[in-house]
Amino acid sequence: MSILAPPFLQHAFLAGTAIAAACGLAGFFLVLRAQVFTGDALSHVAFTGALAALAAGIDLRLGLFVTTIAVAVGLGVLGTRGRADDVVIGNVFAWVLGIGVFFLTIYTTSRSSSNGTAGISVLFGSIFGLSSGQAVTAAAIGAGIVVVVAAISRPLLFASLDEGVAAARGVPVRALGIGFLAAVGATAAEATQAVGALLLLGLLAAPAATALLLTARPYLGLAISACLAVAEMWAGLGLAFAAPALPPSFAIIAVAAAAYLAVFAGSRLRRRTGSRAVAPATS
Amino acid sequence: MTGAGFSWNLLTDIREMWSFPFMVNAFRAGAIVAVVAGVMGWFMVLRRQSFAGHTLALAAFPGAAGATLIGISAAYGYFGCCMAAAVVIALATRHRGSAGSRATESALTGVVQAVTLACGLLFVALYRGFLNGTTALLFGSFLGITAGQVVLLAGAGLVVLAAAAVAGRPLLFASVDPGVARAQGIPVGALSAGFLVLLGAAVAETAQITGALLVFALLVMPAATAQRLTLRPLASLVLTAVIGWLVTWAGLFAAFYSPYPIGFYVTSFAFAAYLAAQLAAAARGRARRSPALAGAGVPA
């Protein structure tokens, strides 16, 4: 990165770093708590929120954050102990997506001045299109999410690993679960601006899953997850800048998935060679 | 979509709608995919595999986009990509039930989903200029379904339903109580992999009408509604197919006479049915509990 890099790339790096760090931290707990499907639902809800805001003619980010956080809290309240049943999640978000299509139609048909690509860029992101103001806001919000998740990480970790014991020790398990989902909602709204509503699940799940394969120690895993997410974001942005045919969202997800695949294959291989080494001793 | 205009005489409306051959095809195709998606979705809801089902559905997007990119029939892309995704998920989640496997399984499914969608985006970007087509791939379109397509859908749907009928009883057993089923000698692992592949075929079929993002509505909503209404397997399976069929036709009807897309209507009707079933179940539970308490004085 030289100082001569074009402004759009500087904006992308600024916003991308904060977004990736937030996704890495929130995603780690999401995977640990086996709530990736909730993250998936929230990311799709982000699409509806953004399109509702566009159809109403207000700031897209307002719609994003209000919708995702509201649905996140709603799912948390509906479920027991701040976790919703996957059939309930499925029904709610399938319907919310349907409403999103409704707003998409309203937006594309009623506003003659609208650009037809707005729906597509909400779905797949446009990180190279961020203005400097948007990038600074995104970075600030991302930093805020990182601080919040880091602040609640100790009790949340306890509640995620052993819910019963944590509840017995007076940890407010339900409130934590709901608060955590609200943070995930904010992360989803934030990441929609970078990689889009459809792809942000990769940024939530892949670095966290990679970190969990690499270490069993929770705090180390949390740190690895955040660092991996940021590194993958940088590599993806660099790749997309070097090869303009690749959309940046694709490059970021491809790098994240490749890292996960490599570590996954490595752990399988190690387990196999490990068990082969053990086999002669036992037989 | 507007015909000559909506009137409150529904029979006239239907006759008018069905005077367009493409609408007749749309109703036929809609009925086929609603039944197939409903039946496979019923098992999916029972097995708590909504996330896997949703991920398979999204694989339809890169399938169709990739097929367009290399210039082959979209049907190959749909079936190839969805079933390939099913095989990947089935292989990667073979070891269900071990400690922490639920977390890894859901993470892996999430990564598979992100990769398939990213590939779809890449194919669209490489192809350039089928932006309107992209929305149709994601959210569906009931226009321009040909008679040949209906025949293909019917054929593939029959294969899926026949396989589900053959494997139905052991699959039900393995879904409800995998431990006992394994002890009885039922190949639980093979059944669960086979189920995912069948689900892949069903969503590939459904996605051609509803679009990749809204397949999930037909998979999960009718099944969840029916399972809320009755506990008997066969009755709720039939009810699932009927609900799916009804909401799809109602959605087609509403979409024909209004400017809004079919996906919005189908998901809204199906969600309304689900809510009604939830309320009915809650009311029935309360009604059953209170007389029992009042009459016998025993806690229910």
Q: What is the pLDDT of residues B248-260, one digit of tens each?
A: 999 999 988 888 8
B213 touches chain A (CB under 8 A): yes
Judge whether A279 lies within some domain: no
CB-based contact A95 B268, cutoff 8 Å = yes
Judge whether A1 lies within some domain: no
pLDDT for res A283: 35
CB-based contact B111 A246, cutoff 8 Å = no
What CATH number has the domain bearing residue A17? 1.10.3470.10
CB-based contact B106 A91, cutoff 8 Å = no
Q: Distance of alpha carbon A6 from its chain centroid, rounded?
A: 27
DSSP B297: -
Q: How confident is the model at residue B132 (pLDDT cuts 50, 70, 90)?
A: low
Average pLDDT over residues B47-72: 90
- How close does chain A come to B223, measured CA to CA in Å? 10
- A1 pLDDT higher than 60: no
Task: Read off the pLDDT of residues A140-160 as tens digits, 9 standing for 90 and up.
Answer: 999 999 999 999 999 998 888
Instruction: Using CA coordinates, name the residue in chain A closest to B269.
Output: A95
Judge whether A256 lies within some domain: yes
d(CA A19, CA B205): 36
B132 touches chain A (CB under 8 A): yes
pLDDT for res B235: 93
pLDDT for res B297: 38
Average pLDDT over residues B161-179: 90
ipTM of the shown complex: 0.87
Average pLDDT over residues A258-269: 90
pLDDT, chain A, mean: 86
- B1 pLDDT higher than 70: no
- How close does chain A come to B295, measured CA to CA in Å? 31
pLDDT for res A111: 61
A98 neighbourhood in chain B, CB within 8 Å? 214, 217, 263-268, 271
CB pairs under 8 A between A and B: 170
* Residues recorded for chain A: 283
Judge whether A277 lies within some domain: no
pLDDT for res B296: 41
B44 touches chain A (CB under 8 A): no
Higher-scoring residue by pLDDT: A283, B11: B11
A123 neighbourhood in chain B, CB within 8 Å? 138
- A81 pLDDT higher than 60: no
Token digits for B61? Answer: 């997007």
Domains and CATH numbers, chain B: 10-286 (1.10.3470.10)
Q: How confident is the model at residue B214 (pLDDT cuts 50, 70, 90)?
A: confident
Phi, psi of A139 (to 5 degrees): -65, -40
d(CA B146, CA B105): 39
Task: Read off the pLDDT of residues A201-219 as tens digits, 9 standing for 90 and up.
Answer: 999 999 999 999 998 898 9
Write out the residue range of the structural domain in which residue A79 sits: 7-272
Judge whether A70 lies within some domain: yes
As for how many domains chain A has, the answer is: 1
CB-based contact B220 A212, cutoff 8 Å = no
Judge whether A283 lies within some domain: no
Q: Residue B58 in contact with residue B117, Cβ under 8 Å?
A: yes
